[in-house]
Structure 1
Amino acid sequence: MAFLSLPLEIQVMVISRVSSIGDLAALSQSCRSIRRLCDMKTRERCYQIRVDPKDCSINKTFDLVMEILKIPKLGNYVREIVQTREPSMEHHYVQTAEQRELSAGDRDLLRAAVRKAGFAGSQESAVLNMLMQNTTKPPGETREPEPFRFPNTAYGYDHGQIHGTFIAQALAAILISVSPNLESLVMTQPFSLFPGFYRGGERPQDDDVHFPLNRLLRRANASPASTAYLQNLRKVYMIVDDRKSDDRFYMAIDFLECATLFDRLPSIESISTDALCDDENGEARIVLEPRSSNISRIHINHSALPTIFLVSLIQSCKVLREFQYTIGGRCVLGGWSAPFNAKTFIKSICPHKDTLEVLDIDAEDNMHYFHPSCFEEGRVDQEIDQRALESDNDDDDEHQMLRSFSSNSGSLKEFRALRRLSVGIGFLVYFVMGVRENNEPRQPFLLPETLPESLEYLCIRGYEKGKCKLWDTHIDALVTSFVSGSSGIKEITGIEETIPNSEDVEDPDNDEDLLWIPIYSVDD
């Protein structure tokens, strides 16, 4: 094997660049010497570290932190950190008596790590105090039964939950700072659950540690060039589900603010979430700075969001390569729905015609203007504009953002990098028709003529033959082109067998089988 002829230090460097634990496991089976270098038993233990605010987890994670501090190369094995407890809005950390007993040397190592992570002065003292707790129950406290918590509220915590949240954040922050190859973060919102916490009031003072994970991320994102950690972070998954909320409903976190914790990092690519809805009052929503974010892949699934929310994320991207938004899997609290404005959305992605590679929109159940009769009578644009007027609000920042791209125009064929497209039949036909300034008249067309040459995969949702003559005409032409081989598309789904559009769950009590099950559950 040519690999074995390389100098040992080169072999070690190559192995360290393999991020997939599966690929490493396969490589380790090739020969005995590579197996020793891969050290799979240790790598598997360090590859993903879960930080839960439970006594057993806290102590296990603390022991691993100390092990990394004593053997720094172990930090190179950490690729993903999962932190699963969100803060409460009305509590700050109160230092309590230390519960751990460390040797003088171990304590010096821990203090040095806290300082290296950027915590100084009173911040250093507070974070160190959090790390020196070995139980979520503060000294002198008696744990009370945990009260019921209503959906989308920030109440109902006992002192053990609150105390454990700070400890878990401190552990996660130090772990991040000693894991230079960290690629993935799975976490809850690291600041107050109340949306707009910082924007609604004053930010905490510099000497107030508040939530250490939040502090660490903001500091790194504000000055990534001067930060040693988070240089290789590529993807972030925001956990929306809260352990004390009713997980049958969509839930709100300040997702736009969360994006600003990572969007300037040098290697960041994607941010994802599930089961998200907007703040019910809409007061906390911000408009992100245009063309400021390094995030290029956005995946928001099983969610219920207004179009302006999605547009703000899109407009913030310097480059957009993937965008996925799907509804369904949860019930909407209060019975409202999140209408989707196809025209506004298409105009917002027009600046990314040369970079967008993957687009997946499954929200056609909330695009009621795509009824077959609207297409056959040529009044789709009028219906969209009318519904946009009815749902208009008075937010000046949002109006300014909408005006900034109101003159954008384009059609599906102009998206020259698009390889994979998954949309409803109505959205597809409207997209190929294109949006034009002042609703300029469109020339007659057939679907195969209006698809980008780069397209390799097409998924059409909600198509039923015979439901709309116009749609049938387009699909028949598409099939003919595909069968003849004149199309560059390699795979089409949703023609012979209908793929249903996703829908919000109307009755979660009787439709439990339709509820989305979280990938990362928030453990008790």
Structure 2
Amino acid sequence: MANIEQLPTEVLLLIINLIRPNRDFVALSQTSRSFYNLTRNELPLRRKYRRIRIKEKKDFDKAFTILLSILRRPQLGNYVHHIEFDRPPGGYADYEIKNEDLKELNDEDLQRLRIAVKNASFADEYAEKVINMVLQPTEFPWEYSGTRQDQLRPAWVAQALTALLVSVSPYLETMTTSQPMFNFTGYHDAAARARMHVGMTEDIIRFPLEKLLIETNADSQGKPYLQNLRSVEILAHQDSTWEDERFYTDFDLFGMVSFFNRLPSMERIGTDIVIEDENGLDDLEPFSSNISRIRIDHSNLKTWFLLPLINSCKALKEIRYTIGGRASLDGSFAPFNPRTFLKAILGHRTTLEVLHIDADNDCYFVEMEEYGDHRAVERDENGEEPAHNDPQGLWERTGSLRDFSALTQVNIGIGILLFLAVGTQGMETGDPDYTSFDELVLADSLPDTLESLVIIGYEKGVRADFDKIIEQFMIDKDAKLPNLKRVSGIEQMIERAETVRSPDDESELLWEREEEEWSDYEY
């Protein structure tokens, strides 16, 4: 029998270099002494280069050193799988070249840098500026002193380093990023930009990472970078000392999505604590996005706002939306409309696998208290909301959860669950003040592909009609839903998420992002 270890060393090294996940690489190194000897020199390099962070000023020099190492030995760029950029700009102003105290490079390294800048599609005067950014000393003046150009210099440098690191990392798979642009009124409108009195022409002078992402997302053909990026975590915060971590953040979510949604391997986006930004992009082209998995947690978004995001997906496989953990500045909340939401996801009835919605506290169509009632669900398309480029036939779609033929996991509030189970026809009742659950048999209204059901917010004994539905479901589920192996939230209530009403008095309800500790030996 042939043994892989009998292959020539050169062939074995070629095979080994094709192994991307570090866990698999380590597993291979432990299979035999010969494989250990072949891999032992490469493992420390994989550990060193697998993740790069550009956030604090102390990260700039490390990022520059890593970039230079990759330029000298391009194979090292193959080991980079994750980049974190967290340096959102606080405005726009054209970059001003400064040549004082630049980092010194020999002629060979300077030529390598020039080639990298060219390969990243930066050209002419802009390319010279990017080179100057990368070579800037990292002892910047106090960020609120000097000219506007001086104040923005750290943002330019951080983006130049990040853009070049992205461009030399062909197997980059994941990113964590704050917004690379400064969002202002008219950012998404060229004519409005031209009218602004901020020294801008119609063609806005974009930051390097912003420019790289826009151009590559528009046309990735022939570019060796961002071809394997599949997941992006979006950090929703601004470059502002006034940012208050008690409240949701006005954020241009669609603008951020439009940096990544057409990349060839793109699958997933995730974010937290967002509320709609009135200056943000307000629509996305239907069925244009390669994103198939969406996570939006601890946020406060109208269902009308979620609509274009769902409609933009060519094939939606997973959507997770939860509220809570923050307060809104004006004390309001964005209502969740189950009818609008169902019509949107019905466009993905053959692909949706995972549904996680915890927004009952913002769904005012159903009352959770004893002797509560449930109102007819309003028709969002008749509301006073911005017009969307909706896919043809959106508002004529009909169906219920039963129609989702790929759905295996559902985590959902009891109220929204019942609305989605009743379906569009049940919510479009002839009685304008009432949606009836009286005839609902829950086990008949769920897909037989379902494997896991987690019900949020159900408390036995509070609503008799809910109790009746759940009791019958527990009797029916084994016979009618043979694939259902897990049901939670029946005997013990799972608390619903809720928007914090008084953050000073309810600080224990506030959500905080956990800062991830980076270890040189973590995979």
Task: Tell whether the structures are fold-level matches, with TM greater than 0.5.
Answer: yes
Q: CA deviation at 1:186?
A: 0.8
Partner Cα separation in structure 1 for residue 169 and residue 363 of structure 2: 45
- Whether the 8 Å CA contact 1:28–1:34 is kept in 2: the answer is yes
Tell me what 1:126 maps to: 129
Structure in which a larger fraction of residues adopt helix: 1
Q: CA deviation at 1:195?
A: 6.2
- Whether the 8 Å CA contact 2:255–2:280 is kept in 1: the answer is no
Q: Report SS of the residue matched to 1:423.
A: strand
Of 57, 60, 63, 2:59 maps to 57
- Whether the 8 Å CA contact 1:49–1:81 is kept in 2: the answer is yes
Give the direction of change, closer, same or farther, for the CA distance of 1:131–1:326 in structure 2 (3 Å limit): same
The residue type paired with residue 221 of structure 1 is: N
Matched, 1:143 2:142: yes
Q: Report SS of the residue matched to 2:84.
A: strand
Give the direction of change, closer, same or farther, for the CA distance of 1:521–1:274 in structure 2 (3 Å limit): farther
Give the direction of change, closer, same or farther, for the CA distance of 1:159–1:408 in structure 2 (3 Å limit): same
The residue type paired with residue 338 of structure 1 is: A
Q: CA deviation at 1:51?
A: 1.4
Count of residue pairs brought into register by the alignment: 500
Partner Cα separation in structure 1 for residue 186 and residue 5 of structure 2: 55
Tell me what 1:328 maps to: 324
Matched, 1:385 2:381: no
Partner Cα separation in structure 2 for residue 314 and residue 162 of structure 1: 35
Q: Extract unaligned runs of 5+ from structure 2.
A: 195-199, 431-435, 519-523
Matched, 1:496 2:499: no
- Whether the 8 Å CA contact 2:321–2:357 is kept in 1: the answer is yes
Matches within 5 A, 1:195-210: 197-199=187-189, 201-202=192-193, 210=206
Moved more, 76-85 or 283-292: 283-292
Q: Deviations for 1:35-93, whole angstroms, at most 9, x for unmatched residues? A: 33362211011111011250x31111101101001111000000000001101224332
Identity among equivalent pairs (%)? 36
Partner Cα separation in structure 1 for residue 419 and residue 385 of structure 2: 28
Matched, 1:191 2:181: yes
Q: Deviations for 1:232-267, whole angstroms, at most 9, x for unmatched residues? A: 010111111346311221112211011111111110
Tell me what 1:463 maps to: 458
Q: Extract unaligned runs of 5+ from structure 1.
A: 147-155
Q: CA deviation at 1:158?
A: 8.2
Give the direction of change, closer, same or farther, for the CA distance of 1:339–1:207 in structure 2 (3 Å limit): closer
CA-based RMSD of the aligned residues comes to: 3.0
The residue type paired with residue 34 of structure 1 is: F
- Whether the 8 Å CA contact 2:369–2:462 is kept in 1: the answer is no
Of 341, 346, 362, 1:345 maps to 341
Give the direction of change, closer, same or farther, for the CA distance of 1:3–1:296 in structure 2 (3 Å limit): farther
- Whether the 8 Å CA contact 2:94–2:149 is kept in 1: the answer is no
Partner Cα separation in structure 2 for residue 228 and residue 486 of structure 1: 47
Tell me what 2:259 maps to: 261
Matches within 5 A, 1:157-168: 162-168=152-158
Q: CA deviation at 1:374?
A: 11
- Whether the 8 Å CA contact 2:453–2:486 is kept in 1: the answer is yes
Q: CA deviation at 1:521?
A: 7.5
Matched, 1:357 2:353: yes
Of 196, 213, 218, 2:214 maps to 218
Tell me what 1:101 maps to: 104
Partner Cα separation in structure 2 for residue 468 and residue 453 of structure 1: 27
Moved more, 488-497 or 32-41: 32-41
Matches within 5 A, 1:224-263: 224-242=220-238, 244=241, 245-263=243-261
Matches within 5 A, 1:22-61: 22-35=23-36, 36-37=38-39, 39-54=42-57, 56-61=58-63
- Whether the 8 Å CA contact 1:53–1:165 is kept in 2: the answer is no
- Whether the 8 Å CA contact 1:122–1:207 is kept in 2: the answer is no
Q: Deviations for 1:98-137, whole angstroms, at most 9, x for unmatched residues? A: 5111111111111110011100001101101101112151
Tell me what 1:66 maps to: 68
Moved more, 483-492 or 5-14: 5-14
Matches within 5 A, 1:399-478: 401=390, 404-436=393-425, 439=428, 444-478=439-473
Q: Report SS of the residue matched to 2:88.
A: coil
Tell me what 2:521 maps to: none
Partner Cα separation in structure 2 for residue 17 and residue 505 of structure 1: 49
